[in-house]
Each structure stands twice: as structure tokens, then as C-alpha cells.
Chains A and B, each alone.
Chain A
Amino acid sequence: MAFALEITDLKKTYPGGVEALKGISLSVNEGDFYALLGPNGAGKSSTIGIIGSLVTKSSGSVKIFDVDTEKDSPLAKTMLGVVSQEINFSQFEKVIDIVVTQAGFYGISKKEALPRVENILKRLSLWDKRDQQARTLSGGYKRRLMIAKALVHEPKLLILDEPTAGVDIELRREMWSFLKEINKNGTTIILTTHYLEEAEQLCRNIGIIDHGKIVANTSMKDLLGSLNVQGFVFDLQSPLEEAPVIDGFPIKLEDSLTLIAAVSKDRSINALFDELSKLGIKVKSMRNEANRLEELFIEMVNSNEK
């Protein structure tokens, strides 16, 4: 099976000498939902820019479904859809015209494009706004329009650069469900995001890029499995005045009714429950502490800096 994306020893040095990519290599399987994470300035947008022909590479190769983006650029481009980080459509045109025009750039006639555009705009709740000038849309709808534009030629690989930045929670959830659906229907998706919860919720595999180098490229499950310590949040039935001291389990009192405990991989959570029971502390409910990925991410980026 061909990789949806195969990057080999990709380097980019900008005029002025900034070395954004120092020879990254990564591959993404067909049908995957892949997260590319990294702090600001790590090289994510340069990588996406090179894949989408918006940035000129210094060296290395990029293949989309085994087609080299340099040797057969038109074919590679027809298989790729990119949702850029910044709004990149004419704000003075109507929503429907923007999407139909984008289809035309991919060689899809207006007659052929119109039913597709209607379908995509309806799925993204933009159909009612089709005759509005794009500048009158709210930020969230502009993001949806970016996605509609990237999907109109039915690409096999969709890359989204921070698609939910600045989008409210409800809309973010809607977009997640939309992306999950198109991934289920066969589109390979790569996304960069600052919301690590988003990557954890959506993606099966993950690459972490920092200072122009790949510092991790693995499955989300393995990566999370490599966490030595997991945080658990306990909602208590009765208030406490101070955190209990239990040997081997660092615990802090978040508020009088909430405890947060760190449980290392070699310890059982049952043992913690036993200890809490012995102290007469009754637990009403328990959940994983959010941002497990965030801990790992910070850990990896910090160790790379060292």
C-alpha cells in the first residue's frame, strides 16, 4: 500500500539563513488521521507549505500517494486539499462563487461543480449563506468555507493547518465530527493543532516536530502509553481541609471537594482506592486528568531543547 504522504530528508532554509526544516522524514498511511504537533516556529507550517507548493523546499522529496510533488506536480496537487491557517479567499466574493471558482481551478466545470458545492455547503451548514459576501461571515463560518474550498475537488489527502483556531467549543465539536466522517469515508487527514485534546480525540498517529526536526513519530496509543505517570481527578462526597498523605501517591487538593492524584505506571489504582477508603474518604466519581498529551508534548519539546 502506498503512503498517502511520504516526506524524505526535507530541508528548508529561508533567505536570511533561518533553517526551518533540518531534514525531516515521515510517512503517513492511507486512511490515517495524523496529527503533526509542534510549538510555534517548529516547522509545521513550512512543512505544510512545501507539501502544498506554497513554499519552495531547499532539498528533499515529498510524495503524495507515490507521486513526487516536483516531478508530477499537477497530478500530486489533484490528490491534495489544504486548509491554510490564515483566511485565503477573496472577502468580497459570494460564498458559492468562491467554492465554484476553486473547483474550476481544478478543472471541474461549473455544471459539474454545482451539485458537489451544494452538498459540501449543506454538510458544513453554509448553504443558507451561499449568496452572502464572504466578509460578512463570522470567524467560524469562514473556517468552514476554507474546508469546503479544500474539499470541492474531492482530494484523497486533506491537510488542515490549525483548523479550529479561534473557533468556539460547539463549532469545534461539529468540525471534529465532520472530519471524523470524511476520514471514515476514506480521506486521509493530517492536522496541525495547538489544542492537544483535539489531536488526542481525533488522531490515530502523531508526529512531533521541534526546531525543524521530528522528535516523535508514532501511534497515539503508544505515545500515551509511554507516559510514566497519569493524573486522576477524584470528585469527593465530603469536603476535605487538606490533601491526604498516602505513600507512593502524590496527591494535591484542587479544592475542598476535588483531589488530583498522580499514579505511576507500576502502581495500581486499586491500591489508591484502598488507601482512600482506609482514610474514610468517599469518592463520588473519577476521571482522567485532561491534557495527558500536553504533558508528553512539553516533556518532549523540553528534552529536545536540552
Chain B
Amino acid sequence: MKNNPSIRIGLWTLAVKEIRRFLRIWVQTLVPPAVTMSLYFVIFGSLIGPRIGSMEGLDYIQFMIPGLIMMSVITNSYNNVVSSFYSVKFQKSIEELLISPMPNWTILLGFVIGGVCRGVLIGFIVFIVSLLFYPEFTVVNPLLTITVLLLTSILFSLMGFLNAVFADSFDDISIIPTFVLTPLIYLGGVFYSIKILPEFWQIVSKANPMLYVVSTFREGMLGVSDVSISFSLGMILGFIGLLTGASLYLLNKGSGIRQ
């Protein structure tokens, strides 16, 4: 790419366009997670949390913070790409990209960069909000925290992209977030450690991919986890590879974007 300034400029243009898009509608994209998470912190952290007591030896609000950050990062990365890519399909502005000399991998990367930027920015906003409720919070392993944050954002941006490629209506872009992502996130250890579950449900929970993402992030922030970190990172990287391959295959084939 270093030797091809055209591709670099094309990628930069698309990434800036995507970032500008979610910043332009900041009331819809940046404010709602801050408000929703504040309510979670007030209700589950400050009001109910003290009655629950400790979780994994930590204050309940402290335990909950990484889970809520991850929940926001996942939903926002996913939603950014699924809504943006489906919108360009719907408005036909996808033609601006298809007609240009930009290679398909730069189109994919441009949308993923947009999703990652929004996911990371939201993660940062939720973290700032959490500090208002629990100022003494410190991050145990910043490197692991940032790594998981970025990888998770990339992974769910890719998922959003695939959803948008197959979507034929606005209903199609809300089905997966509503009926698949949200239940899996809620049951993936955002609010509790799976160690409090009966053994059978612990085994069932380990089939939930969200558990690995949330637990690994919690390991980075707090130093506690329900799963093996190396296994989780390997799985996240493996899925990123798989979804990237699938996305490029569909783009090259023109599925959902070329007649």
C-alpha cells in the first residue's frame, strides 16, 4: 500500500467519510450509550449493587464496568457497520465505490475502521461515565485491555458488514442485533460470573462466544476471568480471519451489491 498512494488516499477517504458519518449524527450514536450506561450504573451499581455484595472478590459495580464497556463496544461496532453499509446499498451510493478503482479489501477495511472508531470511542465514553460512579477504578493490564478492545471491535464490525451484505430490508439489519447479539451479550457474563451458575449452565455458557470476549476484557481491566485468555485471544483472531475471508469472498463475487 505504501507504493500505491491512490489506494492509501481512497482508504483514508472512506474511513474519514465513515467517521464523519457517525460524528455528524452524534445525538443518535454517541449520546444514547452514555445515557443508557449511566442508568445501568445508577440502578445496578449504586442502588442494587451494594445489596448484591461482591462478585469474584470485587465490588459489584467494579465487576460490572468491563462488561458494560464491552457490551457498548460490541453493539456499536456492529450497528455502525451494518447500518452504514446497508444505507449505502439502499441509497445506491455503493455505486460510488464500485465504480471507483478502489480494491474490495480497501472498501471492507474502510467500513471496519469506521466501526472500530465508533466502538472504541463509545468504550472510552462509557469508561469515563463509569469513573463518575466508581472513581477509584484502575486498569490492571492496559495492553491486554486495549488489545481485546480493538480485536472485539474489529470482529463485530466484520459481523455487521456480513449482515449488511445479506440484508434486503431495514428489518434484516435489526433481526440479528435484537434476537441474537443482545441475548448472547446479556448471558455472556456482563452482569455475573458464570461461577455462580450451576455446573450444567456453566458448560452451556461456555458455548456462548460473548463470554470469551467479556471475560478476556475483564481480565485486562480487573485481572479476573472465567476463561483461558490465550484460548480466547486465539478464538477471536481465528474468527476475525474467517469473517475477513468470507467478507472479501462475497465482495469479490458481488453478492448483494452487484446484479
- By a beta-carbon cutoff of 8 Å, the part of chain A in contact with chain B is 14, 49, 52-56, 73-75, 77-78, 80, 82, 84, 86-92, 97, 101-102, 104-109, 149
Contact = CB atoms under 8 A, between A and B. Distances in A.
A101 B87 CA distance: 17
A90 B259 contact: no
B218 to A, nearest CB: 38
Contacts of B100: 77, 102, 105-106
B14 A105 contact: yes
Q: How extensive is the interface on chain B, given as a class?
A: 20 to 34
Contacts of A92: 24
Contacts of A75: 101
A55 B258 contact: yes
Interface stretch (B2-10, B119-127, B194-202): B2-10
A56 B101 contact: no
A78 B101 contact: yes
A73 B102 CA distance: 10
B259 A106 contact: no
Nearest to B7: A107
Contacts, number: 79
A88 B92 contact: yes
Contact of A101 (B7, B17, B91): B17
Interface of B is mostly: helix
A88 B14 CA distance: 16
B96 to A, nearest CB: 6
Contacts of A102: 96, 100
B258 A77 contact: no
B93 A77 contact: no
Contact of B93 (A73, A74, A80, A89): A89
Nearest to B253: A56
Nearest to B103: A74
Nearest to B17: A101
6 contacts: A73-B101, A88-B92, A90-B91, A90-B93, A92-B24, A102-B100
A288 B215 CA distance: 82
A89 B88 CA distance: 8
B95 interface: yes
Contacts of A78: 101
A49 B258 CA distance: 9
A88 B96 contact: yes
Interface string B1-44: 00001110110111001001000100000000000000000000
Contact of A107 (B9, B93, B96, B97): B9
A290 to B, nearest CB: 34
A89 B93 CA distance: 5
B98 interface: yes
B259 A55 contact: yes
A108 B91 contact: no
Nearest to A12: B259
A53 B103 contact: no
Contacts of A97: 20
A52 B101 contact: no
